[in-house]
Structure formats: C-alpha cells, structure tokens
A and B are shown apart, each in its own frame.
Chain A
Amino acid sequence: MARAIWTGVLSFGLVSIPVGLYTAVTEHDVRFHQLQAGTGDRVRYQRVNERTGEPVEYSDIVKGYDLGDGQYVALTQEELEQVAPGRSRSLDIHAFVDLAQVDPVYFQRSYYLAPGTPEAAKPYALLREAMARTGRAAVATFVMRGREYLAVIRPREDVLVAETLYFADEVRDPREELDLPDVEQDFRPGEVEMATQLVEAMSGPWRAEDYRDSYTDRVRELIEAKSAGREVVGQAEAPAPTNVVDLMSALQASVDAARSRRQPQDAAPEEPAATGRGARRGGSAGRGGAARRGGAAGGLSGEPADLSTASRQELVRLARELDVPGRSKMSREQLRAAIASARSASAPPPRRRRRAS
C-alpha cells in the first residue's frame, strides 16, 4: 500500500474532505551508484559539521538563513509550520477553471488524491462527479515541507489527480532567455503547405504506450554486454541537420516516406477470420506508423517474422496485438518468448495431408 507524501483536508466552500496525496509517477532510469574511477569504491554524500568534521544526524539539522559575516538565523521545522498555522494541513480550492486554459509549461508533477477516511469517500466522489460533469479543474494551494504549492485538481476516471504547477514567476520568458529567429519569415511558395502535409501525414491518436525510452533500453543492453564481456556496438549517428536550401526536397521526401509507410496496411484487405484474440490490426494511421508498422517483426497477417531483429517497439506492438499480458514491462528477450508462445497458442492445429488417391 502506498504511503501518502502529504495528508490534510481538501477545502472548497464550507466542505472539508480528508485526503492524502500520493505519487502518481515513477521514473525508469537505470540507477547508478557513484564510484571513484579506477576503483570499485562507492562514493557517498554525508552531512558533516564543518568545524568538527563529525557526521550530523538528520534530526539534529535545522535551517539557517545567512545574515552574512558568519551570522545565521536558525529555524526549526516547527517554527516554519507556525508561520502559517493550518496551511500545511489544508488544500484550499480557490476557483474552478477550464484545464485547457492552463499552458502545459506550468505543469510540474502528478499526484493522486485519495480520500483520507472512509467517511470522506462520498464527498470525494461528489466533488469528482461535479468536476467531471462541468469539465472543470480546481485551482488549489497548499503548503508542504516548507514550500507553498499551486496545483490544479482534475478528475481522471475514478480518482482525482493533482498536478502541481509552477508559479508564474518561475516560468522563464523565452524572449529573454533565447536568441529566437524573427516570427516573420519569408517562406518560399509551397513550403508551408508541404510542411503542413507532413504534419498531417504523421498525425494520429495519442497513445502513451506507443512510446518507449529506447535510450534506457540501450543503456541496459550496454550494461549486460559489458558485464558479459561482449563487444559494445555503437548506435547509428543522428541525422545531419537539413540544409535550408534543400528544405523543400527534404519535406517532399518526408511526406512521401510517411505516406508510403502507411500505404501497405491501409490498403490491405481485412482478413475474414480476423476476430477476437490477436485480431486487432496495427493501430490507426499516423505518427509512430513507421515504428509501429511493417518492421522486421512483420505485420499481423501471420506471415513468418524474424523476431530476432525486431526492435523492442515492434515487439511491443506485436505483443499488444496478441494481447500478451505485462508486455509493457518486458525486456526484448521476454517479449520474443511471449510472442512466440502466444503465436503458437493461437495457431490453428496443423492440417493433415490428404493422401493422394
């Protein structure tokens, strides 16, 4: 059972609902330890007293504000809580807004908000239902670990999700930070239309599971190869930037490539017996089509496919089509085995040869 990172009451109007805030996301980075180069010695951070050099326990550390000349104002956790009594226990809703109005640049991190007590379940569900019906998200603030947070709370299926937001002064102005080109550019005839066609040709529905952190996969492969003493082969280099002179031809070639990738399966006739398990075709047209379709692992039409050369993304696609459970967390090897197993399980029994009469 997950532990809440914050507990308190969600307040709107005169209604107060005990709630807990839970981390909604995790990160799948490869976790490294710090080693001193050339040795197997672990490197660690340690809090030490600068004067004595002795380690200091977490519970013995207070916050010190530097006044200069070696003078500090020391503040305890309890004193900081007393600055705004109750604020650290209350998630105050200030307004309800259209979530689409919130620029994604403000989004920080997602948390699930759950009822804190059995009695809170009904008002929690009521608030969630009212927000779902109105299509509104709540703007709220709360104090946690010495910092005030701004958040929007929105319904997502059965749960309320709190997205913490940056405050307006925390978002950098790109015009001050970057050397941006003039908005007004002289495009050659057809360039905007061609670029628009490319966008359209690569358009499709958003499906989070279609995307995979292939860099982390490569890092894991590198670790496996090094631990097994195998040779490590580098990836192909990134493509060179497009020459501005060739922009039009590069766009045209990209549109042609995007269309040809989607052409074969879009045009393919439906299989008459394609129902149920493993019957779904390779997704709808659009972005990711190149990755999802017609790769080394083959399509769904049952032709023999070389799984050994298929990318993980292709394997995940095949696994999805075959309804392989737990596919999103499988390694390439596990995917290959699961796909082979699912294929053999769904394959029709071998036909008996008719004897020549």
Chain B
Amino acid sequence: MCLDCARGQDHCHGTLLRWADGWVECTEPGCLPDRARHGWVGDAATEF
C-alpha cells in the first residue's frame, strides 16, 4: 500500500521526467508536474 494513498494525500504515481533543457513532464497525462507531488523523479537525459 502506498503511504501517500493511506494518508489520503494529493500525489501522483507517475514518474516526473526532467529533461536536460529544464523541461519537466510527468508520465501520467494531464498531471501537474510538481516535484512535491511525485515519489518518482528521473533525469530523462541519463536514466531513460
């Protein structure tokens, strides 16, 4: 069980992708790309 789900908090299960040029996107369509809402963050330039 996800702890954030258990706490009823607003969060996203997608991965926030940070591109080398600073662009940030989430793998979940329509998601607000806020670091604080994500448990998974990846640097697209190096990890994908």
Contacts and interface: CB of A to CB of B under 8 A. Distances in A.
Contacts of B35: 108-109, 147
Contact of A23 (B10, B13, B15): B10
A146 interface: yes
Interface stretch (A25-33, A207-215, A264-272): A25-33
Contacts of B15: 45, 47
Contacts of A45: 14-15, 27
B interface bracket (residues with beta carbon within 8 Å of A): 20 to 34
A26 B32 CA distance: 7
A58 B32 CA distance: 18
Which of A5, A22, A108, A145 has the largest count of B CB atoms less than 10 A from its CB? A145
B39 A5 contact: no
Interface string B27-45: 1011011111111100000
A58 B9 CA distance: 16
Contacts of A111: 36
A interface bracket (residues with beta carbon within 8 Å of B): 20 to 34
Contact of A59 (B1, B9, B29, B37): B1
B3 interface: yes
Interface in A2-24: 2-7, 22-23
Nearest to B27: A45
Contacts of A6: 9, 36
Nearest to A46: B27
B13 A58 contact: yes
Interface of B: 1-4, 7-11, 13-15, 27, 29-30, 32-40
Interface of A: 2-7, 22-23, 26-27, 31, 33, 44-45, 47, 58-59, 61, 77-78, 81, 108-109, 111, 144-147, 149, 164
